[in-house]
Structure 1
């Protein structure tokens, strides 16, 4: 079979606080379902366990490349902070990895291929801008509310991730009126207030007897007052963070994905409501907040965009 543009694929890798996932993605942003493999990560994993699970999903996924197709390279989206220039990651939720050279690890598995690394929030933004909710939007933030809270900025149609690759790290904007300590050393960061695990912890500290985000969602739907307060607190923190980000860079649209963003049917509406408090500043309240259009595929599609659409990256990031 002759290799054409339509059968040139990217290997996409998503590294998060609970799992690492890999898949093959075509030039249109379609994730090949049969190529999708995942393995656990987690706070208690050792460095070698994490590394071996990355190796495993890379081998499994790359082995499914269609006959006659070309693998152009690999894109890695990882929880941060990261260092693009060094190819290293230091995810707060994976304490065994501090300054870990994950790009070199993947390059060893894929000799001769280029491997790009960016933060998972930046990959979410790239995915939504490529084929998701932000197509045609020039000033945009994509974000995820899950085990952690991440974000990525598209300004004037270009990903803005800065000299280290950590631009758009939305989860570590501090929220007024909150004093929860964050793993980054800050106080009241969006991630420390609004992430799934931290929201569950807050609810438990206020008398809720459940243990998981799924249980919290069920109790929210049933009207449990502590669950309702916990979910609203999370959404309010996200909304206030979006208002601050919009005050800084004049966003038009924010798309929210991630497992915990589905904790309540009205979670996105609650986030949007928190922004309306800035009524005297219509340039802030004009920002639209929507759910991700890409479901759980977003992080992988964004990692693949690093390979398929390098022109969407900033000049600094490409240097």
Structure 2
């Protein structure tokens, strides 16, 4: 299961890491806690009616509290300390393992995606928010509470805009889809009211200077975070996925240029930045890997 601020997706994954069935629904993130969980329960019920499942892995937007099995996603206001692991266990009557959605994305890409065979990597999801996860020594590294790798809340603009986490100038307030659009609109980008980061990317490809500047700024923020993480964690690889990453080189060119500019020590200079390969299934595959890897 992959729970985010925009969608909730549930899939069935075989032992080889292949998704054999998948469905998703809108999160309805401004609903009540129970209305949102009803979406989870409905999708899980559909999966259980079709397949014999051994266990359930859950990746959720964070912060998460792995020891207590609770989640407090910044982009799902009604869930604060929500006991997601226990509530899912009530529905499935099977073992349930919980992690953050960013760590699950990283683990999925490490298992069968762009990070396969790599020992030390960071995975990033640049989407409605910006999440991340760390694989260290071939294993997911969650830290004390399961939130290690929360790269979206590294500060890249110390005097920048306030972030939903309570800080200022985080990667997320610069590079997430809604904030990309917000920044561009504030500088005169003209688009329909429902335009999103995909629309912004399209206008950037047609030479809109404001849209191009928005992606350059976002890529630089992500690149700074990767360079800092490479220095701290001695990484081989950074895998970048999520909806905003679908902009391709509009985002990846400034990411790579920034990493090259700032990751200059011998052990950081070789850090490679690549696109994720599992697309929207990365979180589901990673959640399954939580179970598969014990």
The normalised TM-score by structure 2 is: 0.95
**Partner residue, 1:48:** 34
Aligned to 2:254: 270
Distance 1:42 1:166 in 2: 24
Q: Deviations over 1:127-167 (max 9, x none)?
A: 11111111121111111100011111111112110121111
Partner of 1:80, secondary structure, is: coil
Contact 2:201 2:250 in 1 (8 A): no
Q: CA deviation at 1:42?
A: 4.1
CA contact under 8 A between 1:24 and 1:62: conserved in structure 2?
no
Distance 1:39 1:309 in 2: 27
Counterpart of 1:116 in structure 2 is 97
Match of 1:214 in 2: 198
Residue of 257, 282, 286 corresponding to 1:302: 286
Alignment of 1:238-257 (within 5 A): 238-257=222-241
User: Which residue in 2 is equivalent to 1:148?
Assistant: 129
Q: TM-score, normalised by structure 1?
A: 0.88
Tell me the SS of whatever aligns to 1:99.
Answer: coil
1:101 to 83, 108, 131: 83
Matches of 1:256 and 1:287, distance apart in 2: 13
Q: The residue matched to 1:107 in structure 2 has which SS?
A: helix
Structure 2, gaps ≥5 residues long: none
Secondary structure class of the residue paired with 1:72: coil
Q: Which residue of 2 aligns with 1:59?
A: 45
Task: Quote the residue 1:229 is aligned against.
Answer: 213
Q: 1:86 to 1:207 in 2, by over 3 A?
A: same
Q: 1:279 to 1:103 in 2, by over 3 A?
A: closer
Q: CA RMSD in A?
A: 1.3
The CA distance in 2 between the partners of 1:88 and 1:266, in whole Å, is 36
1:31 matched to 2:19? yes
Query: SS in structure 1 opposite 2:18?
Result: coil
1:136-175 residue pairs with structure 2 within 5 A? 136-175=117-156
Q: Give how far 1:178 is off.
A: 5.2
For residue 20 of structure 1, give the secondary structure of its aligned residue in structure 2.
strand
Matches within 5 A, 1:129-140: 129-140=110-121
Q: How far apart, CA to CA, are the structure 2 residues paired with 1:197 and 1:107? A: 33
Contact kept in structure 1, 2:122 and 2:132, CA below 8 Å: yes
Partner of 1:90: 72
Q: Deviation string for 1:71-122 (max 9, x for gaps)? A: 21000000000111111110000001100011111111111x1000000111
Equivalence for 2:178: 197
Distance in structure 1 (CA, Å) of the matches to 2:250 and 2:80: 37
Once residues 178 and 254 of structure 1 are traced to their aligned partners in structure 2, the CA distance between those partners, rounded to angstroms, is 26
